[in-house]
Amino acid sequence: MQDEGKGSRQGRVLVVVTGCIAAYKAAEVLRGLQKAGCDVRVAMTEHATEFVGPITFEALSGHPVVTDLFRASTPIPHIELTDWAELVCVVPATANFLAKMAAGIADDAASTTVLAAGCPVLVAPAMNVRMWSNPQTQANLDILRSSGVDVVMPVAGRLACGAEGEGKLASVEQVVAAALETLRPEPDLSGRAFLVTAGPTHEAIDPVRFLANASSGKMGYAIAAAAARHGARVVLVSGPTALACPPGVDRVDVTSAAEMLEASKAAFASADCAILAAAVADYTPAHPADHKLKKDAEPLGSIELVQTADILRTLSAEKGGRVVIGFAAETGDAVAKAQAKLARKGCDLIVANDVSREDSAFGSDTDAVTFVSPEGAEPLPTLAKPQVAERLIARAATLLEA
């Protein structure tokens, strides 16, 4: 397989089509990528060919379509394709194919090719609403995200089966935009050290009770994963979460705001950039009990609270020529509140997020954020958290260069 066109186009994309009624949309994605200047090649599962014939993709791409490892036009198609590709885009991605990817199964041409990929992988799921909401599907997605796979989230709507709900393939425009975002020149963070904080903190009332918030840690973990992918040394200071540590990241587990402050100060001492995505408690009980409080003998009519230390303000005051980025999780008028927070804290950038929005709530897989800096506000469209992380790492790299 020759590398014709290498360097003369915007990117080389391998589109992997799986067996779903939305397979015809993959042809539109292919055309959208071509219009953006990409060279596109295609691999298909056997079931995908029941919905759209390979000849359609051969005619559109100008290249042979790989459907069978033993009947391809080249001896080792899965290796040659992935050596060539700068991005693998699985569209549509069925529940079955996502499960194969999560388990590392390679039992046909498409799954073997994806497993061999040495470049970024993007998946655009499409399936029945009950299949999408099945806990096993969501667990598989968590596994894929933790290994660096980006996800273009499906949308709610009327599905091919007649049901209503989430599971409908994202629009062609969204898939193409996500692919082009991934193909943007990547910042090289080799030699840079990042501190990232993530998750909630738990403030003890007694040994078994605590004050907390609904942060899942997904955004901070996505940021840590993105920084590591771009070559940075990353220390992730994490409050209590159920997430797996991203590859190549050193995680420091903490529980309270006080512990997060101390761990963050220690990591920041050798960092070039701090991205403080954790939802740190603003208050902590003044007098936590050293034993479980019994409601009959020691009823809690009230809890005296004291303010926790401000980690963002503390690190910003010590940053010197280093970069510090904070987050503002707000409800309503998030940008104005983030602008005020930027002035108070003295950091370089605030990521404003209205958590009252369904697409930006704590625990969601997407965010609609705005980057707020002294130069102004830059709103981003609703993106999957790994895509927001990529945008933020690119901005951090620019700030480091400056």
Say which residues have a Cβ less than 8 Å from residue 396's Cβ, sequence separation at least 6. Answer: 187, 194, 227, 273, 275, 323, 325, 349
Which residue in the list 20, 119, 161, 347 is annotated as catalytic? 161
> Pairing relation of β-strands 87-93 and 11-17?
parallel
- Range 301-305, long-range pairs (CB < 8 A, 24+ positions): 303/205, 303/211
> Pairing relation of β-strands 369-373 and 376-379?
antiparallel
Q: Is 299 helix (H, G, I), strand (E, B) or coil?
A: coil
How far apart CA 244 and CA 144 sit, in angstroms, is 11
Rounded to the nearest 5 degrees, what angle is found at the Cα of 317, between the Cα atoms of 311 and 323? Answer: 85
C-alpha radius of gyration, the chain, whole number: 23
- The partner residues of 377 in beta bridges, in order of sequence, read 372
38 is catalytic: no
- The partner residues of 354 in beta bridges, in order of sequence, read 330
Segments of 146-301 assigned E as strands: 150-151, 155-158, 164-168, 193-198, 203-206, 209-211, 233-238, 249-253, 273-276, 283-285
175: left (phi over 0), alpha (psi -120 to 50) or beta: alpha
Task: Spell 159-174 as b/e; 16+ CB within 10 A means b.
Answer: beeeeeebbbbbebeb
- Which tokens hold the place of 145? 């995200």
How far apart CA 246 and CA 55 sit, in angstroms, is 40
Active-site positions read: 161
